[in-house]
Amino acid sequence: MATPRLARSPTCMSCLRRLASQQPHLPSPLSWTQTRAKATKAELEDLQGIPVRLLQDIPGFGRKHSIIRVKAGRMRNIWFPKGAAEYMTKQRFTELGLSEGAIGVRDRTFGKELVVEAETDKKKQTSSSSTSKSKRKEILALSPEEAQTLLSTLLPEVLVFPRIPVSTTPAEPAIPRSPSLAANAAISTSDAAAAEVTPIFGSVSRGDILAVIKENLVADPNGGRVALEDESLEIIGLDPEYDGDNRIKRLGTFQVRISPGVGAEGRVIESVSRTVQVVPESS
């Protein structure tokens, strides 16, 4: 005799025991309860809520005209005010000629692949754009050999930077004296000039020098194509006691080396040297 087909799975324990006693070949009720698939939290959420009909494609939920169940709060606060969905009442089911059997399940993957593809395309475009900019910069920039020629031709031998000196008070003599010298001992003029250090308001940085270099390069149509950065300059003659890192903080004469870059096959291009003079600013 064939096993009768159950139209619906029994859930009551007394019903399970009665069926087990009538059908000895069936597994025990305990095994039935253990083998039942446990619904996930996402599946339970998709089966709860109120029925709504989507009036537009909504990624993560479904296409336009899909009928699904969503939380009442989402519908009340977000979708309904924006016109993204409508409530599916019994009257609305009747008007559309549908039954509650038309209620489907939320499509969590809808639209997600399109978003991933769009982000991938955007990253590719950004990478391509940055690559093209880098190539364009390389094409526009002069070679180190050409840059060296322009620097040697257009830059004056001396780059002058006027700065306001910091005045020294009589109580703080600018010429330091050795403790072994007598109070009335004289110091030669040359020693005094060498010992005197006059600080200035502000400073002369590599950026300041680079700005003056670029101003001189503008005289040539190709001067703007010389690729120079702050790191291309080296200031010679800085004293850690008075100056900062790559920054002049006193009156005086210094040297600056300008590196035009590395040539083809790693060949080092000779740097261009110029004199930097920091002089008192005239009132």
241 and 153 within one domain? yes
87 and 202 within one domain? no
Mean pLDDT of the chain: 76
pLDDT tens sequence across 121-131: 667 776 666 66
Instruction: Rounding to the nearest 10 degrees, give the CA dihedral for residues 78, 79, 82, 88.
Output: -140
Share of the chain above pLDDT 70, in %: 65
149 and 98 within one domain? no
> Do the beta carbons of residue 210 and residue 169 sit within 8 Å?
no
Query: Residue 49: is its pLDDT beyond 70?
Result: yes
pLDDT on residue 101:
87
pLDDT on residue 267:
76
Of 119-123, 155-159, 192-196, which gets the smallest average pLDDT?
192-196
153 and 39 within one domain? no
Of 75, 102, 129, the position where a domain reaches its end is: 102
Of 50, 72, 102, the position where a domain reaches its end is: 102
Cα–Cα nearest to 4, from 31, 29, 23, 17: 23
- CA 44 → CA 70, 86, 98, 99, 111, distances in Å? 11, 22, 24, 21, 22
Of 28-37, 49-58, 258-267, which gets the smallest average pLDDT?
28-37
202: phi then psi, degrees, rounded to nearest 5: 80, -160
Q: Is residue 209 part of a domain?
A: yes
Q: Is residue 205 part of a domain?
A: yes
Share of the chain above pLDDT 90, in %: 25
Q: Is residue 229 part of a domain?
A: yes
pLDDT higher for 88 or 119?
88
275 and 200 within one domain? yes
Query: Residue 117: is its pLDDT beyond 50?
Result: yes
161 and 39 within one domain? no
**Which residues constitute the domain of residue 224?**
140-169+194-280
263 and 157 within one domain? yes
Query: Residue 94: is its pLDDT beyond 70?
Result: yes
Q: Where are the beta strands (DSSP E) in 133-271?
A: 158-163, 199-205, 233-236, 247-250, 252-258
The structure tokens listed for 153 are 């031709």
Domain count, the chain: 2
pLDDT higher for 205 or 15?
205
Q: Is residue 11 part of a domain?
A: no
Q: What is the Cα–Cα distance from 41 to 201, expressed in whole angstroms?
A: 70
CATH code where residue 248 lies: 3.10.430.100
Query: Residue 195: is its pLDDT beyond 60?
Result: no
157 and 67 within one domain? no
CATH code where residue 64 lies: 3.40.5.10
pLDDT on residue 230:
85
159 and 74 within one domain? no
pLDDT on residue 141:
79
Average pLDDT over residues 41-55: 84
pLDDT on residue 185:
46
Average pLDDT over residues 271-278: 92
